[in-house]
Chains A and B, each alone.
Chain A
Amino acid sequence: MPDVTPLPAATPIRMGSNAGQPRTRADGLLKVTGRATYAADNHPAGMAQAVLVTAAIARGRVTAMNVEAARAHPGVVEVYTPANRPELALEPDAKPSFFSKLTETLQDDTVRYEGQPIALVVAETLEAATEAARLLAPQYAAETARVGFDLAPYAPESVGFGFPIEMSKGDIAAGLSEAASTTETVVETPPQYHNAMETHAIVAEWKDGKLYLDTPTQAPGMSAAGFAAWLGLDPADVVIRSPFLGGGFGSKAAVVGAFLLAIQAAKLLDRPVKLALARHQMFGHVFHRGATRQTIKLGMDAEGRLTAIDHHTTAVTAAFEEFIEGASGAARTTYAAPAIRASHDGVRNDVGVPGAMRAPGEASGSAALEIAADVAAEAAGLDPLEFRLRNYAETDPMSGLPYSSKALRECYAEGAREFGWAGRPLAPRQMTDDAGMLVGWGVGTATFPCPMFGAEARATLRADGTAVIETALIDMGQGSWTAMAQIAADSLGLDVEQVEIRGGVSDLPDSGVAGGSGYTATLGLAIDNAGGDTIRQLAEIASSDPDSPLHGTGNTRVVARGGRLYAQDDESRSESYADILARAGRETLSGEGKGARGENDANDHSFQSHGAVFAEVKVDPDLGQVRVTRLVGAFAAGRIINPRMVESQLSGGMIWGISFALHEGAEMDPRTGRILNRDFGEYHVSVNSDAPSVKVLTIPEEDAFVNPLGVKGVGEIGVTGTAGAIANAIWHATGKRVTSYPIRLEELLDL
């Protein structure tokens, strides 16, 4: 069963508790031996194969499709177009949840972006479906596509997921006019597409009145509710199996129309249907990071202290739906100033709906703000690190709340020491290596919030003293199974080998959302509470049992350790879990727990993770070729559950930052609105040899307020800071301030 994946035993490195140990991945063996099943690996008996047909124009209408030819192709089972589209319980434009976006389920013949579903072909084989899809040969009436920033901006409803479009404090005009000097920096970031290795896929099967879905989701409970709403089902009748995801990055949480079509097809055809998007179909229908143009005005006094931060973002969103990349949020969270304004407007392009992509808002915003900070440091004649220290935010820059914890100063110091920042020449173009390459050093501040959503878990002790944790846990490669098992073991006073994790299915307790960098904090807390609840019940049983050595201790004065309960004040009084359960005649004992932020916690503190990223680049003076030769990132993110997984997350985030700075970006054809590089040959991300020495330091940080575990989250912060640090290092190497990502080779030459 894909939903029951026992943790294989690994050689433990023990230094006390389970948390804090650099355990290797619990699912590593399954993955490297090909036994971890992903959604598209499921082939129930009688399954038909679906192929999505997507629009080849960015705006207009489908005027004709050769449905007869497609139907006539041998092996074709059915062809769905707007003419025979399956009815939904809700309109496709209904948004059943807060995270939902408008989507397409063949509701009409309109094309609103390239890559939009316009038909679904179902056949006995993938090959037949593919060929029939080709035979449809859609004809279009194309309209002029709207592309780029230079269109009339409009005031969006909100930014990101529900943030106001503008937040400000202080007097911006005064802060700028009274400043000793001001700078203005305009930075553009391109549209980026998540492109997880595993493309979006679904295997839908209706069985015994229930709908079973094998599909990757970052939020099984929310996804099940979303599917149920659109299909008119009881959420309990939708079972999503999603044990492993081949990457999600924010693209695999909301329900998309293509999946609804596959599910409907399975119902109408009364057989399982599988649909997996092709790589080029990842560019459009399944969200992306929208392009931004950011204008950042900074005012400073004579010592380089900021008097005003005015950060305005124009974000590209879809013509028919809104998601605004909240890039100006960086101004609210990074540096101190008496006056701060973070504002946004939108521009509508004929593109698919943007959405959350790893560090949504923060990645783009920090990529721009860090350049602007460097420009200001240059204007003030200050070392970029010194500039950042002078503008250190001792309290939350916007709200003024104290931080629950903030070891950013230590991150700067430790990162700079490790990198060897001291002695960096102030002026650019001062360093070369033996081969004549221009060498430059740059720094960027990393920060990301520590949200908590909501999650539930159940812990069950078994008669033999081992335990099982049940929650709809998903692992999208970040190592959540491993870290959660460590938290579970500690909460139950067991070794991690004695705890089985049962997850990956939506009918288990709701694991919440693996997103927003809040999974370990939220689900970890739910598991910790479930374990704690179980142990409390166990102590109650022992305490009230006259035959137990723990009789009369009460449930608060015991310690759970190594599968035994000990009296807190008398270690000689103890009893094993198995014995306590046996005498009580219990086969199992279950406890439950929830994880969420305390109701008033957010009124008292600001919760942010922090970091400092230092980059060294070498630029070929004659070719403009950039190599990132060294990255050092120092991060303070509260308590670290598994240093190995955390280092992997942070270094992966930093490598993502290399891609952001130098490689990633969809190239839109301005004439047609089509994406020119819809494949891995031309949509570049860093390859191994682009990723240099990447060093991660985690700075110890105790946080008594963020949540009882003290965990802040590391999933996204590595992306922030890095792109800016690289851009700044390129300036330091060459003297050229490139303000458009990705930084292209030709921009570094005097052409």
Chain B
Amino acid sequence: MSAWHRPASLTEAIGLLAEGGVVAAGCTDLFPATRRQALSGPVIDLTRVAEMRGISETRGGWRFGAAVRWSEVLSAALPPAFDGLKAAAREVGSVQIQNAGTLGGNLCNASPAADGVPGLLTLEAEVELAGPAGMRRLPLAAFLAGARRTALAPGEVLVAIHVPSHAAAGRGAFLKLGARRYLVISIAMVAARLVVKGGRIDRAAVAVGACGPVASRLPALEAALAGIAPEDAAAAVSEALVAPALAPIGDVRGDAEYRGVVAVELVRRALRGLAAEGMR
């Protein structure tokens, strides 16, 4: 079998990548997707790269190393704005998958049904990329270029995910709909985050996943929610405010029309849940 590199530093990792190879992290997507004897070429396992590990509060907000595992997200002490991301962490595959799969892998794999994406979109996440040409930062929405497509340049890796302080405010929620109770690929999912000031929604961030090639925010709805009471938020949701942001397809899991309908309902529920949380 080919070499299996475990670089300890980002510099080392980028150096290895320049020579070509397969990037590996939790391998929960990589292995099942590989239907041959070996991965093609040397493997660069990023899970030991120091810069890609750990969750920390920085001056500008919160930083998640790309190799952070879902179970680490679940057990981290994070503000309520991250409650949606935590709820998603609990629904990514099984506990075994959550112990292996990484945030960065979820983003780089770029599945339309990636459970981590809607929550990170509502958290205004930015991705930090590093490659031979240096470092750069992109909004997550710009990083996700389509189904199974990202903005990663050759030789470039996702190093970390940053959530700015202003987005770490308020409370988040996440809802996932699948055909069975657990261990299921989403038919539709919704993340929402509300910042409430003086009994009014100061800022709303809502995103829908698995209803288009990439998960997307709902800007029209977010604008409509601003300034109203959280308990009125669910009632303010209409198909007209949600549907334009979606491009669902019909597949084995659900048909397109159904996805459009349930996405609206899931948004309502997420907002209703947040309103109820806020009143406690």
Interface residues of A (CB under 8 A from B): 127-128, 130-131, 134, 622-625, 627, 662-663, 667, 676-677, 681-682, 684, 686-690, 744-746, 749, 751
Contacts and interface: CB of A to CB of B under 8 A. Distances in A.
A689 B184 contact: no
Given A128-B37, A745-B187, A624 B258 contact: yes
Interface in B138-189: 177, 179-185, 187
Given A624-B258, A625-B177, 4 more contacts: A127-B37, A624-B262, A676-B252, A746-B254
Contacts of B187: 745
Given A687-B182, A687-B183, A751-B258, A623 B177 contact: yes
B98 to A, nearest CB: 15
B19 interface: no
B262 A662 contact: no
Interface of B: 1, 35-38, 177, 179-185, 187, 252-255, 257-258, 261-262, 265-266
Contacts of A686: 180
A684 B265 contact: no
A437 to B, nearest CB: 13
Contact of B179 (A128, A676, A745): A745
A131 B181 contact: no
Q: Which applies to chain A's interface (DSSP): helix, strand, loop or mixed?
A: loop
Contact of B36 (A134, A662, A687, A749): A134
Nearest to A626: B179
A134 B35 contact: yes
A698 to B, nearest CB: 28
Nearest to B94: A687
Contacts of B37: 127-128, 130-131, 134
Nearest to B266: A623
17 contacts: A127-B38, A128-B37, A622-B262, A623-B177, A624-B258, A627-B181, A676-B252, A684-B179, A684-B180, A688-B182, A689-B181, A745-B179, A745-B254, A745-B258, A746-B255, A749-B258, A751-B257
Contact of B185 (A623, A625, A663, A682): A682
Contacts of A749: 258, 261-262
Contacts of B183: 687
A625 B184 CA distance: 14
A688 B95 CA distance: 14
Contacts of A128: 37
Contacts of B255: 746, 751
Nearest to B188: A623
| Most chain A CB inside 10 Å of its own CB: which residue of B180, B183, B187, B252 | B180
Contacts of B182: 687-690
Nearest to B250: A746
A749 B182 CA distance: 22
Contact of B180 (A134, A623, A663, A751): A663
B62 to A, nearest CB: 31
A687 B181 CA distance: 7
Nearest to A684: B180
B262 A131 contact: no
A663 to B, nearest CB: 6
A662 B258 contact: no
B180 A662 contact: yes
Nearest to A130: B37
Nearest to A685: B180
Contacts of A134: 35-37
A746 B258 contact: yes
B179 A663 contact: yes
B30 to A, nearest CB: 15
B262 A623 contact: yes
A662 B184 CA distance: 14
Contacts of B184: 684
A620 to B, nearest CB: 9
A131 B252 contact: no
A340 B128 CA distance: 72
Nearest to B258: A746
B265 A622 contact: yes
| Most chain B CB inside 10 Å of its own CB: which residue of A127, A627, A745 | A745
